[in-house]
Chain A
């Protein structure tokens, strides 16, 4: 599976959009981009995934560049409960390789 690079930490004001970047320059054609988050010490929670096209669900939007070498997770209106570690993972098989992720802190 391709490796990913994420900033170690980011801050966001409550109510604003949180944009979390991820670089995956070695991604191959059949690898999906997945985003999970981990709130405090709970089990990781699925957010969204995509292959080529931009995706949106009730939690977030995923923007994938045309060359697929990077992506951005967008939380449109961040709340304090969105404070968590966010993991970007590219995978083709079921075993996922987690990096250190981005620690997002939403501030009042």
Chain B
């Protein structure tokens, strides 16, 4: 198993540009989520999905869209990039359930918005 994979590893955008961060998992996990981590801080939840076709907002959803058309993939879209979105983005997945399952994290995407 490759686990949780994220592409790209690094990205530089100009203010106002849009892009999609890719996340995929091959563990047949129902639950997937996106976090952002700003320098010196812990991770903050952006959006999550409990299964294909179902998504919901986390702690900091503004400026981001998600969709879940398959179990494997959970892309994160930046609609109009802003410098405040400069951060490291992590995708995670778990089997789901009642919060007793281990979450597996991807290696992260480092995004800079100029």
Contact = CB atoms under 8 A, between A and B. Distances in A.
Interface of A: 31-32, 41-46, 49, 87, 91-101
B104 A94 contact: no
Interface string B96-109: 11111111111110
Contacts of B99: 31-32, 91-94
Interface of B: 4, 31, 33, 35, 40-45, 48, 50, 58-59, 88, 90, 92, 94, 96-108, 110
Contacts of A91: 99
A45 B102 CA distance: 9
B43 A94 contact: no
Contacts of A31: 99
A95 B42 contact: no
A94 B59 contact: no
Contacts of B33: 94-95
Contact of B42 (A49, A92, A98): A98
Contacts of A99: 42
A7 B4 CA distance: 30
Given A46-B102, A94-B99, A98-B44, 11 more contacts: A41-B108, A42-B108, A43-B92, A44-B90, A92-B98, A94-B96, A94-B97, A96-B43, A96-B45, A98-B42, A100-B42
Contacts of A32: 99-100
Listed from nearest, the 9 A-B pairs whose CB atoms lie closest are: A43-B105, A98-B42, A98-B43, A46-B102, A92-B99, A93-B99, A94-B31, A44-B105, A91-B99
Nearest to B40: A100
Contact of B58 (A42, A87, A95, A100): A95
A92 B99 CA distance: 5
A38 B55 CA distance: 26
Contact of B59 (A43, A46, A87, A97): A97
A20 B98 CA distance: 26
A96 B103 contact: yes
A43 B42 contact: no
